[in-house]
Structure 1
Amino acid sequence: MKTIVFIGSHKSGTSREAIQIADQMGYFTVLITNNRKFIDQREEFQDVHQMIFMKEIHDIEKLKESFQLLQDQGKNIKACISLIDPYVHLASILSKEMGFVHLSTKALYKMEDKTRFRHALQKLDVNPFYSVMNPNDSVHEMINQIESFLPLILKYPLSNGSKDVIFVKSKEALPKGIEMLKTKFPHLPILIEEYLDGPQYLIEVIVCHGDIHLIGVVEQEFSQKDTFIVTGYSFPAEMDEFLYNKLEMTVKSIINKLEMYHGSCHLEMRNVKGEWKLVEINPRMSGGAMNRIILEGTGVNIVQEIIKMNLGEEPILKGALSNHVFAHFLTVSSRGKLIKVTGKNRALSYDGVKEVYIKPRKGQILTAPYSMGDRYAYVIASSDSKEEAKRIATTAAKEIKFYMEPL
């Protein structure tokens, strides 16, 4: 029985899509998870043929034992895959040790921690100013060293989805921001970065045997300036040929410096007065609706091609479509208990709408956005122009209403 083992998954987004696509490709799917809720909600994971709960999911010896048990059950394991940040590098190590196709393990390790990739790229102009504050460093001394670079971004080096990211504008706000992170992560370093002002883009990259492919460049929109919750994605990003060529050259220099030879990743970059600066790089394709956005725009199913790479097959990276796509994400403005959500079918009825997704369940507590995980719905629309795709998505999204009991 041809089997693919997945380490970790979210309930939706690209990590879950990977399991669904593997199922559609005819593989027996196994999910190893440390999320107890998934076990309790087993009936909602019909595409997962076997689910294994493992509390210590980072224990590679326990993972190997699970693989051996699967093989003893007659499972012919063809690949071990993860599209979840903490486990991408782990899955690559395990794949290498088990004799499967594996990705560029060292590069994935560097990308997994924001201080590691900053250090690896420190000689490139793409890096902004940054500093690392270790747990025992003096707050006063650190402030003296960095205050001239204000405004600054403070973050936990393993954060993702804009979680635990603090924007600091003034010297007076610096100690408060540092203390907030030190209180939450007392034994971990704090990454301090120069704030980059300019339009932001997400770049999906696949590296196949050393050949670097920019699969999609997506312009990101934020709910308001100086926040980091993306509420709009426009594909393809509009820029002149010179700027795109400069972006491609910069991305390739980053990938080469990190020594990625085989694998996938996504970068977030800002165009600061004509110069490309790296916000972050992650060792996997972007989550959320990104696979559907690229699929509607190009016809390329990135998740499926990543699975094929992990199986030792050649990916198909050029599609037959050339559409404009806009994804509009919805948040709520206050905290409350969800009573119901209406308007999904009305939103779907708009010409050009390709998908409407509602994330939360009835009874769930919703909050104003603190991280990207606090986006509760999205509408994806496609058209022959950027403006029209955006108009359709944002207009259809107005049909969706969240009814909540205030808390």
Structure 2
Amino acid sequence: MGELKTLIFLGCTKSGSSKDAIEAAKQLGFYNILFTNRKSFLERRGAFPHVDKMILVNLDNRDAILAKLDKLQSNGADIRAIVSFMDSYVSLAANLGEQLGLPTQSGEAIDLVQNKIAFRESLQDTQYSVPFQIIHDDSEDTALDLNLPVVVKSPRSTGSKDVLLATSHGDFRKHVEYLQTKYPDHEILVEEYIIGQQYLAEVLVHDGIPHVVAIVEQSITLDERFIVTGYCVLPTLPSGLMDQVQEMVNTVRELIGMQVGAFHVEFKVSQRGCKIIEVNPRISGAAMNRMISYAFGINLVKETIRSLFGEKPDLMRQKENFVYTQYVTAKQCGVLTKATGKVQAMRVPFVQEVFIIQRKNAILSTPFSMGHRYAYVIAAADSAREAKTAAMQAAARIHFHIRLAKYDGSRKMGKR
């Protein structure tokens, strides 16, 4: 191991961009070591063929991670970088890399973006800002200062878990009370709900220059939470809109000061132009890397790693397809006994990939976070209509066979 250039990964999911990154690193010739806090991953070692060594460690304990790194280096490991493609650990990876003098993404930029209130305040003098207010943790004044409807969120939220729509003052008070109970020592962010189509811009920054790699139209299912169930990668946009997106991305990069690394911007196109909903300092998770690959032939996680080491990323499109990804959620809560329809779904024309995320005996829930999406279908075609139709037809063939749970404990706190 001492003669091999080693990449340390903090955290990984069973599928998606973080796992794709490990495969990409192997293609680039790295010896991959995965630090994970999931014991089940060690028990299912064969599911991670591109991980050369897997180490169980508490990823919330910085000292424990440093001790593991020190031991590896003492044993001759040539650690070239510490990376993460997960929201929970991308900041930690950057900060550890800076501490050890390794190539890394811009740590301060990551920290600013992940502090949703600080980032929202930094945006407020730009044309991309939305009206907002902050309810402080020590304040008894919870009056709404914005026009309804509004979005009430915890600055700690990820995956839509604590992002709630309020269409009435009653909703607003209920959501604030819920978040104050769940996070008693934290502020609450309230934003005006913007009417308009929602998009996602995937961006890679190299040498301080932001490159818009893909624009993705999002389809939102709104019940108790905002759940993205459909993504359409668009090869082209009207020139005027593309210019606005590029200007918006340039503004974000300047505000956060990122010199190298990936980020994505969720935004809406309203009558007042592009309005930023959220920015995250990484490529989107789930199947985003694969969508971009099917659309343009670009492996974004691979180019992100290359950029980290000073190599100019190859972002030239090899092809241009419309790609639509449809996610499948459960209609009821319970224990998964089996999932059927994958073979039939793959037979639908234009379908490129069908993936069942959960295994037998997993506990499924009706969706109240992005983590409650249990399968996806990716289709690629010459038009958005063909790709979407194929993905939705294929997704309709996937069925989760569920043994009903005695009660729905997962919904107790979050129900509106």
Q: TM-score scaled by structure 2?
A: 0.92
> 1:215 offset after TM fit, Å?
0.3
1:305 aligns with 2:303: yes
1:135-284 to 2 correspondence within 5 Å?
135-138=137-140, 141-143=141-143, 145-146=144-145, 148-224=146-222, 227-236=225-234, 239-284=237-282
Shift of 1:99: 1.9
- Distance in 1 of aligned mates of 2:7 and 2:147: 47
- Report how far residue 293 of structure 1 moved: 0.6
Q: Deviations over 1:286-311 (max 9, x none)?
A: 00110011111111100111111223
> Does 2:53 correspond to 1:50?
yes
Q: What is the alpha-carbon distance in structure 1 between the residues aligned to residue 172 and residue 384 of structure 2? A: 39
Q: Which amino acid is the alignment partner of residue 65 of structure 2?
A: L
Give 2:301's aligned amino acid. V
Question: What is the identity, as a one-letter code, of the residue corresponding to 1:331?
Answer: T
Q: d(CA) in 2 for partners of 1:347 and 1:98? A: 48
Find 2:326's aligned residue among 305, 325, 328. 328
Q: Is the CA contact 1:3–1:77 (under 8 Å) kept in the aligned structure 2?
A: yes
Aligned length: 402
Report the equivalent of 1:343.
341
Equivalent position to 1:16, from 16, 19, 22: 19
3-state SS of paired residue (1:229): strand
Structure 1 contact 360–376 (Cα < 8 Å) conserved = yes
Please tell me the root mean square deviation across aligned C-alpha atoms, in Å.
1.7
Q: Would the aligned equivalents of 2:152 and 2:166 in 1 still touch at CA under 8 Å?
A: yes
* 115-124 or 231-240: bigger deviation: 231-240
Structure 1 gap segments, 5+ residues each? none
Selected match of 2:10 from 3, 7, 10:
7
Q: Cα 1:163–1:169, aligned 2, differ >3 Å: closer, same or farther?
A: same
Q: CA separation in 2, counterparts of 1:231 and 1:305?
A: 27
Map of 2:119 onto structure 1: 117
Structure 1 position 378, deviation (Å): 0.6
Deviates more, 1:6-15 or 1:235-244: 235-244
User: Which residue matches 2:110?
Assistant: 108
Aligned partners of 1:350 and 1:396 also within 8 Å: yes
Deviations 1:97-153 (A, max 9, x none): 222112211111111121121122221121111122222111xx221x42x422111
For 1:237 and 1:257, locate their aligned partners in 2 and report how far apart those are by CA, in whole Å.
Answer: 27
Provide the rounded CA distance (Å) in 2 between the counterparts of 1:51 and 1:119.
40
Q: Per-residue CA shift, 1:315-367, capped at 9, x if unaligned?
A: 11112111111101111121121111111111112232111010111111111
Whichever residue aligns with residue 29 of structure 2, its letter is: G
In 1, are the aligned partners of 2:269 and 2:275 still within 8 Å (CA)? yes
* Counterpart-to-counterpart distance in 2, 1:227 and 1:198: 17
Post-superposition CA distance 1:42-100 (Å, at most 9, x none): 34333222222222x24444333222211222221111101111221221121122221
Shift of 1:237: 6.5
Structure 2 SS opposite 1:306: helix
CA contact (8 A) 1:121 1:258 kept: no
Q: Are residues 170 and 262 of structure 1, via their aligned partners in 2, closer, same or farther at CA, if it must alter by over 3 Å? A: same
CA distance in 1 between partners of 2:62 and 2:72 (Å): 15
How far off its partner does 1:373 sit? Answer: 0.6
Aligned residue for 1:223, secondary structure, equals strand
Name the SS for the 1:206 alignment partner.
strand
1:351 aligned partner, one-letter code: P
**1:274–1:194 distance in 2 versus 1, CA, 3 Å:** closer
**Residue in structure 2 matched with residue 363 of structure 1 by the alignment:** 361
Letter in 2 for 1:3: T
Match of 2:386 in 1: 388
Q: 1:276 is aligned with what amino acid? A: C
- In structure 2, C-alpha distance between the alignment counterparts of 1:372 and 1:286, rounded to whole Å: 12
Change (3 A) 1:79 1:17: same
Q: Is the 8 A contact 2:202 2:213 kept in 1?
A: yes
Q: CA deviation at 1:219?
A: 0.2
d(CA) in 2 for partners of 1:369, 1:223: 9
Note the C-alpha offset of 1:226.
Answer: 8.6
Aligned partner of residue 166 in structure 1, secondary structure: strand
Q: CA deviation at 1:225?
A: 7.8
Pair 1:109–1:210, CA change in 2 (3 A): same
Deviations 1:187-223 (A, max 9, x none): 2221111111110001000110111100000000123
Whether the 8 Å CA contact 2:109–2:258 is kept in 1: the answer is yes
Distance 1:385 1:224 in 2: 26
In the alignment, structure 1 residue 377 sits paired with structure 2 residue 375:
yes
- Partners of 1:397 and 1:175 lie apart in 2 by 37
Counterpart of 2:35 (choices 28, 32, 39) is 32
Q: Which amino acid aligns with 2:70?
A: Q
Cα distance in 2 between the residues matched to 1:61 and 1:394:
47
